[in-house]
């Protein structure tokens, strides 16, 4: 099966928040009460009920003008996913479609994934003690539908499709922007964290959109994963052995009871 991604062309984003509303509606996420904090970004941060946000960043441009940088932000579904490495319960997994999802049954609410994520897009629900984030609309993907954000975008800023085709389209768009004078234009997500399922055409440096220039899995997360993974396997083996031993003893007891009857 061909790998699919979303390509976000920030040069086409007009900040309508259609993707943000579509995410809320499809995933049945409640609205949150927010306050004005000096920016048009609203809600101002990710949470268990806000999986997608639209960046509104103001930067000084040439001739005393203000340049706006707007883009859809959310989980990147990284190939080298820090959240997966940080999770001690094995609750975060990669689906057959390549999405990185959280099993709500297995999640123990330790918050390690929240602190490990270099993009800070995972929210914590204090009522259920569970972490939640964008699923890349996995339920839509398995039904042959594009993510809700891509379906709703009126300007074509968000495109869903085959990775090879969209990488080529993104590279071509970067060349066009550079030819138009955007010398810092780049294709973001191609190499970051071994590649991401959310890829961006940026007209300027990543930081101006609220994206880290060089996202990395924290060193302590890699160390934790290297140490804990073997231990987790031992725990699984020990539990399996305990269940097998208990089952065997139960059978012996039942047989003894029958022989005494």
Question: Residue 257's pLDDT band (boundaries 50, 70, 90)?
Answer: very low
* Residue 90 and residue 193 in one domain: yes
HSE-up (13 A, CA, CB side) for residue 164: 3
Question: Does 189 map to a domain?
Answer: yes
* Residue 193 and residue 253 in one domain: no
Question: Does 99 map to a domain?
Answer: yes
Residue located via tokens 């009522």: 127
* Residue 232 and residue 201 in one domain: no
Q: pLDDT digit string (tens) for 99-148? A: 999 999 999 898 999 999 999 999 999 999 999 999 999 999 999 999 99
Residue 13, pLDDT above cutoff 60: yes
Structure tokens at 172: 């071509």
* Residue 182 and residue 241 in one domain: no
* Residue 56 and residue 98 in one domain: yes
* Residue 225 and residue 117 in one domain: no
What whole-number distance in Å separates Cα of residue 101 and Cα of residue 237?
Answer: 25
- Cβ proximity of 89 and 111 under 8 Å: no
* Residue 203 and residue 223 in one domain: no
Q: Which of 10, 260, 261, 5 is nearest to 153 (CA)?
A: 10
What whole-number distance in Å separates Cα of residue 245 and Cα of residue 222?
Answer: 35
* Residue 135 and residue 234 in one domain: no
What whole-number distance in Å separates Cα of residue 74 and Cα of residue 198?
Answer: 8
**C-alpha gyration radius of the chain:** 23
* Residue 153 and residue 242 in one domain: no
* Residue 70 and residue 167 in one domain: yes
The per-residue pLDDT of the chain, averaged, comes to 89
What average pLDDT does the segment 58-64 reach?
A: 81
Domain with 236, as residue range(s), is: 219-261
Query: Running DSSP on this structure, what letter comes out for residue 29?
Result: P
Among 209, 233, 249, identify where a domain stops. 209
Among 167, 188, 209, identify where a domain stops. 209
Q: How many domains does the chain have?
A: 2
Q: pLDDT digit string (tens) for 103-116? A: 999 998 989 999 99
Q: Element (H or E) spanning 9, and its range?
A: strand 4-9
Question: Does 214 map to a domain?
Answer: no
Q: pLDDT digit string (tens) for 208-253? A: 999 999 999 999 999 878 877 666 656 545 545 555 665 555 455 4
* Residue 165 and residue 227 in one domain: no
CATH number at 186 reads 3.30.70.20
* Residue 140 and residue 224 in one domain: no
pTM of the model: 0.85
Question: Does 70 map to a domain?
Answer: yes
Given this model, what pLDDT does residue 76 score? 98
């Amino acid at each position: 099966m061909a790998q699919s991604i979303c390509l976000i062309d920030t040069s086409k984003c007009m900040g309508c928040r259609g993707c943000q509303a579509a995410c809320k509606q499809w995933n049945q996420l409640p609205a949150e009460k927010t306050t004005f904090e000096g920016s048009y970004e609203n809600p101002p941060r990710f949470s268990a009920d806000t999986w997608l946000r639209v960046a509104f960043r103001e930067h000084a441009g040439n001739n005393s003008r203000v340049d706006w940088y707007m883009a859809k932000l959310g989980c990147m579904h990284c190939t080298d996913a820090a959240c997966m490495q940080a999770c001690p319960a094995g609750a975060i997994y990669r689906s057959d479609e390549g999405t990185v999802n959280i099993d709500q049954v297995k999640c123990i609410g330790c918050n390690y994934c929240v602190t490990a994520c270099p993009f800070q897009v995972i929210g914590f629900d204090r009522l259920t003690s569970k972490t939640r984030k964008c699923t890349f609309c996995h339920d839509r993907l398995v039904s042959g539908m594009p993510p809700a954000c891509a379906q709703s975008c009126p300007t074509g800023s968000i495109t869903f499709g085959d990775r090879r085709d969209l990488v080529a389209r993104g590279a071509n768009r970067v060349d066009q922007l550079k030819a138009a004078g955007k010398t810092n234009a780049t294709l973001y997500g191609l190499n970051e964290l071994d590649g991401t399922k959310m890829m961006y055409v940026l007209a300027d440096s990543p930081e101006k959109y609220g994206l880290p220039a060089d996202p990395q899995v924290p060193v302590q997360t890699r160390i934790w994963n290297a140490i804990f993974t073997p231990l987790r396997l031992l725990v699984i083996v020990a539990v399996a052995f305990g269940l097998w031993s208990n089952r065997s003893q139960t059978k012996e007891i039942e047989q003894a009871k029958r022989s005494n009857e």
